[in-house]
Structure 1
Amino acid sequence: MSVLILHRGPLEASPYHEWLADYEGEVLLLACQAQLDLFAERLPLGHPFYAHLEAFADFDRPGPVEDRALELAARHGVTHLIAVHELVMDRAARLRELLGLPGQGVESVLPFRDKVVMKEQAIAAGVEVAPYTAKVTTALARDFAGEHGFPLVLKPRDGAGSTGLRMIAGEQDLAEVLAELPAEAGAAGDLLLEAYVPGRMCHVDGLVVDGRVVLAWPSQYQYALASFRDDPGGRIDLTLDRDDPLSGRLLELAERMLAHLPTPVDTAFHAEVFHTPDGRLVLCEIACRTGGAQIRQVIRTLFGVDISEYWVRAQLGLPLPALAGGTRLEPRSMAGQWLLMKRPGEVRRVPSGPAPEQDWVEHFQVFVRPGQVMREAEFSSDFLAVAVASAPTRALVEERLRALGEWFEERTEIAAPQPV
């Protein structure tokens, strides 16, 4: 018995040696070197918990990782394969099918990763989606703009983390985008052009174990996800109160999608839904993975459970103590996250210690240091600092997060970048 983990992202955030301390088999891990470098981490070579550790400079290129995975599977008798990062799930699914391993297969991954298939499935489930076209040729894009107006949203069909997303404000923007766009990409259906949906973006995050939703809760972003490169202020995301009528509607929509899709029997999920000014709920997308940013910490605050840890343990059939009673977990409080993106300039001053000693500060972390020269944020989780707060109500969570943000900004100095 052994488990092979394909890991992309910081290892510090996924302490498998703690999560799987009671696992009786071997643990093998293949990691992405570029991601370790990005977070200034080193592979813990020689760690007694791991039977094999290896990092790949070309992790994101299909081939080398798969070859090593097949080799290790034969050598160690791999019985399970784990991958919690969205950009690795389709590769992990193909490997499971090649090796005859349990877990999510290719057909299950597709509607969670391919936004066109996802939208088709949503429509079949009676869930509204934004008007879209997957054929982004010059003629079709102009026809689409003529029918739906501006702004429009252009994004990769299989994108993640807002990478590659473009907001198209008007005719000039559209002309520039079409001029830059390789003709074959638009004609092949690799991109998605969507009508803009007004309103606030909400999200529902939860966990499915043995085919049953065991915990889930909705939140609402107080910012635009795609603005991470030019948003200098704190970005706040808040859970919805128990008695908010929107809470029940969002939970129902997410569970309707999960019931309609080929949802894995054990999975985390993250659904993003627009709440329009006229009260409609419009699905943006749904993914079978843990939400990004500090959503894990928010869920931990609500339910006392690390959703990624329980997801991994569930796949291996390990005990899940918080779920021993068999009842669905309910939130213990409300919570929210405050996120400050990196921005160009030199870090002159930044708080070096923890946030103010308040029992409502559930998590606080700074990702830069004095003397560091920052560029603009490269992706939607490229943070300068983050915090998670709790309170009995959403309104009090927001008040506390904004106060914490002010405290941080007062103690932070970023020198403007020097002209080139």
Structure 2
Amino acid sequence: MSEPVLLLEAAGPESQALARTAAASGHRVHAVTDAATLAGYSGELRRLLAGCLVTDFTRAGQAVADITGYGRRIGARALLTVNEYLTEVAARSCAALSLPGNDPERAAAARNKALMATTFETGRVTMPSTTVVTDLRELQDLHETGKVGFPCVVKPADGAGSAGVTVVAGPEELELAWHAARTARVMYGMPLDDRVLVQEHVQGREFSVESITQHDVTTHLCITRKHTTNGSHRVELGHTLPARLPAAAERALLDQAGRAIAAVGVRNSATHTELLLTPDDRCTVLEIGARLGAGHIGVLLQHALGIDPWRTLWDIALGRPATITPAPGGGYATVRFLTTHQEGQLVAVTGLPTVTRTIPAARVRAAAGSDVGPATSNRGRLGHVIVTGHDPRTVDEQADQILRQITVTVAPGGRT
């Protein structure tokens, strides 16, 4: 049966996968976006859509009113987003339209890191020691009074994709880290929360837990191992799933992810919980998103576990029972991102592998001639390669070999 559904933002690989899945199921997909983003919609994406609402996300209350009015006019049967910046708007719009969604009163805590820290403390979620500051002098006072140790992490209250996050090695780096956090880019021109978080730097391996919650019941799909850069900026260079861990470590990660999910009021959605596992298997939650993990994690779930996350998310949004059963036998999948240490203009990316059954994707997203340089956030990644198979060691070795064969050529200059 064809039903109208609302997708808060159709741009981006995860959102486009949702649009294609809904359209293939016969649903009439209506996108919600702003004027600037709509101008960049491709012809293919526009053809998938039955309609589009243009609103102003900088005025959240008005955006919810616009979405609610539009949803009632078209008789929307579901509302969904995988966009980090729109999860609170989605929760409030779902509540207004009486559609399955998350707790609208706690949804902001899954977006704003300052609120998240308070909510985690109340919900007994283990997290790094966190202080919220409002100006540079307050940050410097913390150092001068011995309340900040090094290394520490300085991050914006409402950033995403590692933008504006700095691992600070010493007091001489505090001011630069402060300005990086305060100037982090926010989508849609949304107002920036000028608060900054200072957190203890916890040593350990990084993971994420991918989960689905329906009617307050959570199913953990898998644990994802994360590959990140070292140094001042921790950019994600890859994801691998499912992570193979000792039972005690797995229990610790899943327990803390469940606490975080409950704390931020997730009732009906995917969640992506980022955590650290220390050498003695203690688990610390870094943050949570009330959405499917980005960075092609949805594609990895399809290849490794045989789970269709896009269909599952629409089932939840439509109020239908979501059946989540991994394929028998189990698989393994990894995505590795292309970056460069050189600053200048991108000339070419060569040596990409041929797409095959075990290499389902090898793409460059940065255009020739664009300014590139060392990545300081996930936006600085140039492309990606996905490798799949049944043996974890073989898949990881193949992915590493592919990266060694790829050459990124950069001409000096640019970024004036």
Same fold (TM over 0.5): yes
What is the one-letter code of the residue matched to 2:112?
D
- From the superposition, tell whether residues 12 and 219 of structure 1 become closer, same or farther in structure 2 (CA, over 3 Å): closer
2:333–2:395 Cα contact (<8 Å) kept: yes
Match of 1:207 in 2: 212
Q: Is structure 2 residue 409 aligned with structure 1 residue 413?
A: yes
Residues of 2 paired with 1:415 and 1:122: CA distance? 46
Deviation at 1:373, TM superposition (A): 2.6
Q: Is structure 2 residue 195 aligned with structure 1 residue 190?
A: yes
TM-superposition CA deviations, 1:153-184 (whole Å, max 9, x none): 222223221223233332222245568998xx
Secondary structure of 2:12's partner? coil
Secondary structure of 2:345's partner? strand
Match of 1:281 in 2: 283
TM-superposition CA deviations, 1:125-173 (whole Å, max 9, x none): 5432111111344564345432341122222223221223233332222
Secondary structure of 2:253's partner? helix
- From the superposition, tell whether residues 140 and 213 of structure 1 become closer, same or farther in structure 2 (CA, over 3 Å): same
- In the alignment, which of 294, 299, 303 is matched to residue 301 of structure 1? 303
1:3–1:28 Cα contact (<8 Å) kept: yes
Deviation at 1:271, TM superposition (A): 0.9
Deviation at 1:308, TM superposition (A): 3.5
2:181–2:196 Cα contact (<8 Å) kept: no
Match of 1:312 in 2: 314
- From the superposition, tell whether residues 95 and 12 of structure 1 become closer, same or farther in structure 2 (CA, over 3 Å): closer
- From the superposition, tell whether residues 226 and 201 of structure 1 become closer, same or farther in structure 2 (CA, over 3 Å): farther
- From the superposition, tell whether residues 34 and 155 of structure 1 become closer, same or farther in structure 2 (CA, over 3 Å): farther
Deviation at 1:260, TM superposition (A): 4.9
Match of 2:128 in 1: 130
TM-superposition CA deviations, 1:309-350 (whole Å, max 9, x none): 421232113575xx3xx7576771222210113664333333
1:334–1:393 Cα contact (<8 Å) kept: yes
- From the superposition, tell whether residues 18 and 348 of structure 1 become closer, same or farther in structure 2 (CA, over 3 Å): closer
Deviation at 1:77, TM superposition (A): 2.9
Secondary structure of 1:257's partner? helix
> 212-221 vs 117-126, which deviates more?
117-126
Q: Is structure 2 residue 385 aligned with structure 1 residue 380?
A: no
- From the superposition, tell whether residues 180 and 76 of structure 1 become closer, same or farther in structure 2 (CA, over 3 Å): closer
* Correspondence list, 1:11-410, <5 A: 14-21=16-23, 26-35=28-37, 41-42=41-42, 47=47, 50-54=49-53, 59-60=57-58, 62=60, 65-66=63-64, 68-138=66-136, 140-145=138-143, 146-176=146-176, 190-224=195-229, 235-239=237-241, 241-242=243-244, 244-245=246-247, 246-264=249-267, 266-318=268-320, 323=323, 332-341=330-339, 344-351=343-350, 355-356=353-354, 359-369=357-367, 371-376=368-373, 377=375, 379-409=377-407
2:30–2:49 Cα contact (<8 Å) kept: yes
Deviation at 1:298, TM superposition (A): 1.6
Q: How many residues align?
A: 399
Residues of 2 paired with 1:199 and 1:71: CA distance? 47
Secondary structure of 2:147's partner? helix
Match of 2:186 in 1: none
> 161-170 vs 135-144, which deviates more?
135-144
Secondary structure of 1:222's partner? strand
What is the one-letter code of the residue matched to 1:155?
K
Residues of 1 paired with 2:314 and 2:380: CA distance? 25
What is the one-letter code of the residue matched to 1:203?
S
TM-superposition CA deviations, 1:81-124 (whole Å, max 9, x none): 22221201112222333444442242241332232443344344
Residues of 1 paired with 2:400 and 2:171: CA distance? 38
Secondary structure of 2:382's partner? strand
Secondary structure of 2:173's partner? helix
Structure 1 gap ranges (5+): 183-187
What is the one-letter code of the residue matched to 2:22?
L
Deviation at 1:389, TM superposition (A): 1.4
- From the superposition, tell whether residues 397 and 253 of structure 1 become closer, same or farther in structure 2 (CA, over 3 Å): farther
Alignment RMSD (CA, Å): 3.6
Residues of 2 paired with 1:28 and 1:267: CA distance? 19
1:9–1:32 Cα contact (<8 Å) kept: no
What is the one-letter code of the residue matched to 1:161?
G
2:100–2:319 Cα contact (<8 Å) kept: no
Normalised by the length of structure 2, the TM-score is 0.80
Secondary structure of 1:51's partner? strand
Residues of 1 paired with 2:135 and 2:220: CA distance? 43
Secondary structure of 2:266's partner? coil
- From the superposition, tell whether residues 16 and 212 of structure 1 become closer, same or farther in structure 2 (CA, over 3 Å): same
